[in-house]
Amino acid sequence: MDEIKMMPPELNLRVLPRTVQQEAVDKLRLAIFSGVFEPGSRLIESNLCLRLGISRPSLREALRSLAAERLIDIVPNRGPSIPALTWEEVTAIYEARELLEVEAVGRCAERISNEQLDALEKSLSAFEAAALSNDGLARITTAADFYSIILANCGNPILEEIHRGLVARISLFRSRSMSLKGRAMSSLTEMREIYEAIAAHDEKAARKASRKHVLKAMAAAKKSMPPPD
């Protein structure tokens, strides 16, 4: 009896245009980073649909994506809200950030190519321009770009993947701390120290500079929060 070969189903590889849902995710994420919604405040779906100009199903998909990033909470029978993080939660996130970034920066100092070092320098220059401006969102995005290059060149894709899970919350704290007077310029000085250590391929100095930056960022983030009860 002849063997019947099963043909694999045809796979549609067509790339679809940017979706309404993804656009809504990006807009809401930027609104959260910008402080449009206060910590602890509820998000009214009808109002969001009106402001975004999208349907409720599209909004709910967007909210689920933001919940996965831990930028909002979705509680049954209560709806979505902006989390009001405790100092203990903030500390835990920054401790994780310290472990990941110090290791990534040290490894990057040993591995980064000249081409990627140029890209890192350009991202630092972009952050400097943002720090000198009044553009809070540019400060957040350019700082994230600086670290994404470091993580991409640390030689450990799992470390990069784990850090990516914290990026949204790190950016949220960064937006709050950068609102403090002088913090953006202090961050620039600290990030320049990291860059110079990486450029010198000095793994020990890079780790030291990274740890200093994260600890100062954590202190600034806590200063920007309301005092604990």
**pLDDT tens-place string over residues 164-204:** 888 888 888 888 788 888 999 999 999 999 999 999 999 99
**pLDDT tens-place string over residues 46-57:** 999 989 888 898
Letter string b/e over residues 210-223, b meaning 16 or more CB atoms within 10 A of that residue's CB: bbebbebbbebbbe
pLDDT over 60 (residue 153): yes
1 pLDDT tier (thresholds 50, 70, 90): very low
**What is the rounded CA–CA span in Å between residue 39 and residue 81?**
8
**What is the rounded CA–CA span in Å between residue 192 and residue 213?**
10
CA 165 to chain CA centroid, nearest Å: 8
What is the overall mean pLDDT for the chain?
87
Burial of 148 (0-12, 13-18, 19+ CB in 10 A): middle
Burial of 111 (0-12, 13-18, 19+ CB in 10 A): middle
Cβ atoms within 10 Å, residue 163:
23
Is the C-alpha dihedral spanning 165, 112, 101, 222 positive or negative? negative
Q: Please tell me the pTM assigned to this model.
A: 0.78
